[in-house]
Structure 1
């Protein structure tokens, strides 16, 4: 990782953490409205999401909307053997009662021992630190999503979710292992990319 990338990561993390509750609530509502206008959301039956923990766009409203529309919600769990993500189906009851484990990296995970491969999902909504104009996704640096998606080149539809300042009208450094997005949604706009 270059010094420039490291500095950018730090700046974006700090900016994201400094958002107050009101800003977060408004952003999540605006993103939900854009997701509801996304054709991939309408046709998806199995949706992978995340539980926000580090200032990402909050997913509570999106998850509740999925349950309201009888869509299956899957949350990521890190497989310790290969550091890939597997996807665990959760119920409304599990979600509302917060039946999750706290991972050592700081995020909450489902309390299950098994999950499905990412290719079984129709739509994957992912957190990120930044997205550029070509759909390059900068994650938190662990490479979990990149490793996982490398084994699923065609499915699911990859949708990044972030705040307005996380869309960068530049070209981020892209490595051979980086997995690009199909779309990026932020509170003010939706961007669609052509995946190579």
Structure 2
């Protein structure tokens, strides 16, 4: 199946989840992440603001801040991402995709300054291949980083597929956390 059709089907499936199912999934993924050494040892963590049925990392971000970790959000800059510090209650504006980003008054850093990046995805397979929204922002951001952070995709279990066709520019994940399991790759 081509990426465009698969992306459309998986996005539709995750958007069909009820508010209650989304909340349960956010709690389940929170439990998965909290017990991982990758999270416990990280000092600088990037999360995202859930959009389009993505599983929400808001509980993870709140706990990270309570533990004294710095939490960052992605900021679109041309065709790549930078990561801007996002303290609790940070003032936001909407980017060209209508996704909230912290205002420029907050410091931003390149991806290689992070320890852990929790990233959204549309689909994934057991080999750590990720199907995103199709813009390639995460792939371009981490393509040249030799000291890149741990990349962990967050997903509902229904977003897993048997295998994904990958392009030579696709950056694989180090792990995937779902509402049912932690998959190290």
Q: What TM bracket, shorter-length normalisation? A: over 0.9
**Is residue 140 from structure 1 mapped to residue 136 from structure 2 by the alignment?**
no
Secondary structure in structure 1 of the residue aligned to 2:170: coil
In the superposition, the TM-score normalised over structure 2's length comes to: 0.95
Aligned to 1:88: 84
Going from structure 1 to structure 2, the CA distance change for 1:6 and 1:93 (only over 3 Å counts) comes to: closer
Query: 102-111 or 68-77: which moved more?
Result: 102-111
Aligned to 2:77: 79
**Is residue 101 from structure 1 mapped to residue 86 from structure 2 by the alignment?**
no
Aligned to 2:172: 180
Partner Cα distance (1:143, 1:121) in 2: 19
Aligned to 1:52: 50
Q: Is the 8 A contact 2:34 2:60 kept in 1?
A: no
Partner Cα distance (2:76, 2:9) in 1: 26
Q: Is the 8 A contact 1:124 1:159 kept in 2?
A: yes
In the alignment, structure 2 segments of 5+ residues that lack a partner are none
After TM superposition, give the deviation of residue 19 of structure 1 in Å: 1.1
Query: 45-54 or 148-157: which moved more?
Result: 148-157
Partner Cα distance (1:93, 1:22) in 2: 24
Matches within 5 A, 1:1-196: 4-80=2-78, 83-94=79-90, 99-112=91-104, 115-168=108-161, 170-193=162-185
Q: Deviations over 1:105-146 (max 9, x none)?
A: 121111116621100000000000011111011000000000
The RMSD of aligned alpha carbons is 1.2
Q: Is the 8 A contact 1:73 1:89 kept in 2?
A: yes
Q: Is the 8 A contact 1:36 1:42 kept in 2?
A: yes
Secondary structure in structure 1 of the residue aligned to 2:124: strand
After TM superposition, give the deviation of residue 103 of structure 1 in Å: 1.5
Count, aligned residues: 184
Query: 23-32 or 111-120: which moved more?
Result: 111-120
